Amino acid sequence: MSEVDQIVEACGDQPVCLYDGASVANASELEHVLPEGVRVVVIPQPDQAESVQSSTIASGVQRATGSDTVIVIEDRAQDRFAVASDQDATAITESLYSQGESDGGVAVASIAQTLDPANASGGSAGGGGILFGIIGVVVVAGAITGLILGLRRRGRNRTEKAVRSSRRLEKELAEALDGEDGEFVRDAIEKLNERAAAYPDIGGRIAGLAGHVSELFVRVRKRGTDQQIRLLQSRYKDTLSKLLKALDDDYYGDILANPQYWSKPGERVAEVQRAIDSVDRQAVENIRQVNESRDLEFQVALDSLIKTVDAAKLSDVYSDREK
């Protein structure tokens, strides 16, 4: 049985499913404000690059349940989202992140009204229907406002804990990433997080990679040697610089926005996504090598990807235009 099938079976008909010990601030109250056809699945933070992508889980649960919208929340210090929807999944994802909430339940509650499939389908109604509709919206809005305030109060301790954890990680990362190469890697991690916000379609993958690289350097500083730290800094400086070049607005961003101006845009997008996954798997494997006191190995090479990016000249970029 696949991981998606296990989640579907465990969650059953629950509109808000807390899977395998994951949690949000107030799941029971969140159930009462979710529109019909909307499901929320909360999963533990993925701990390996080989884990099924949250976007795959969202799509699988939606297909299995016939739901209009499925939101997967990764239970982290700063929760992350994946959305599958008959509506605009990208817009919903952006709206969730724009709430700026560390707790995913609070974020979902904040936009619950906008998830109603009936709102998306439109339609007309008589004067009486409009009046009752307005009254209903006011009542629901009041309930949601109360829920959000309650969630925020109950989630305050969790938020404060997340802030402390984040500050501790930043301090440990700064100590591990000293020197010229270290500062480059630290800047690269920040840029990866910026790219994650810019590209909702692969935001979860990029954010996961940034988290694994950060964890790697924190662990090697605690358990490894200075030689390993210098080696890692040098290796990841090269690897992350190449990956960021491919994720730049002038390449990956432009392919998404203007695929008609690129030859084989689907293959180019897939190549970048494979590169992200490869670097992520390498970071996880390096963490295991550090934990087990093994020699560090590097098997990821992005030279072919960079060759593709560098070769993207105007004659190629605009090859599909009429001559």
Residue 170 is assigned to a structural domain of this protein: no
The pTM assigned to this predicted structure is: 0.51
Residues 185 and 132 reside in one and the same domain: no
Is the domain of 238 the same as that of 136? Answer: no
Contacts of 250 (CB under 8 A, 6+ apart): none
pLDDT of residue 120: 58
**CATH number of the domain enclosing 136:** 3.10.310
* DSSP character string of 144-177: HHHHHHHHHHHTHHHHHHHHHHHHHHHHHHHHHS
In this structure, are 150 and 183 located in the same domain? no
Q: Both 119 and 60 in a single domain?
A: yes
- pLDDT, one tens digit for every residue, the chain (323 residues): 788 999 999 999 999 999 988 888 878 788 888 999 999 999 988 765 456 788 889 999 999 999 999 999 998 878 889 999 999 888 898 889 888 888 899 889 889 989 988 775 544 444 455 444 544 555 455 555 555 555 555 555 554 444 444 556 567 777 778 888 889 999 999 999 888 888 888 888 898 899 889 888 888 888 878 888 888 888 899 999 999 999 999 999 999 999 999 998 999 999 999 999 989 988 888 888 888 877 777 766 677 777 777 666 434 444 443 43
Chain-centroid distance of CA 235 in Å reads 25
Q: With CA atoms as reference, report the closest residue to 26 among 185, 192, 156.
A: 156
Which residues touch 148 (CB under 8 Å, ≥6 apart)?
Answer: 106, 109, 110
Domain span holding position 107 = 3-154
The percent of the chain in helix, strand and coil, each rounded to the nearest 5, is 65, 5, 25
Whether 11 and 91 share a structural domain: yes
Which one, of 115, 117, 113, 121, lies nearest residue 139 by Cα?
113
Instruction: Check whether residue 147 and residue 189 sit in a common domain.
Output: no
As a whole number of angstroms, the distance between CA 129 and CA 135 comes to 10
* Predicted local confidence at residue 155, as pLDDT: 52
- Angle formed at CA 241 by CA 235 and CA 243, multiple of 5 degrees: 100
CA angle 34, 37, 43 (to 5 degrees): 70
What is the model's pLDDT at position 125? 42
Query: Residues 220-250: pLDDT tens digits?
Result: 888 878 888 888 888 899 999 999 999 999 9
User: What is residue 261's predicted lDDT score, i.e. its pLDDT?
Assistant: 92
The pLDDT score that the predictor gives to residue 288 is 87
How many alpha carbons lie under 13 Å from residue 268 in its C-beta half-sphere? 25
Burial of 263 (0-12, 13-18, 19+ CB in 10 A): middle
Confirm whether 54 is domain-assigned: yes
Which tokens go with 155?
Answer: 């989630």
The verdict on 184 and 303 lying in the same domain is yes
| Token pair 């960079």 in the structure block, residue | 306
- Cα 91 from Cα 122, distance rounded (Å): 18
323 domain residue, yes or no: no
159 inside domain: no
Domain boundary among 93, 119, 154: 154
- Helix count (H) and strand count (E) of the chain? 15, 4
Let me know whether 186 and 58 are in one domain. no
80-85 β-sheet, strand order: 16-18, 38-44, 69-75, 80-85
Summarised one tens digit per residue, pLDDT across range 261-317 is: 999 899 999 999 999 998 998 888 888 888 887 777 776 667 777 777 766 643 444
Is 184 found in the same domain as 144? no
Looking at residue 165, what is its pLDDT?
45
For residue 123, tell me if it sits in a domain. yes
| The pLDDT of residue 52 | 79
Q: What angle do CA 206, 208, 209 make, to 5 degrees?
A: 65
Residue 285 lies in a domain: yes
Residue 315 has a pLDDT of: 40
Rounded CA gap, 164 and 203, in Å? Answer: 24
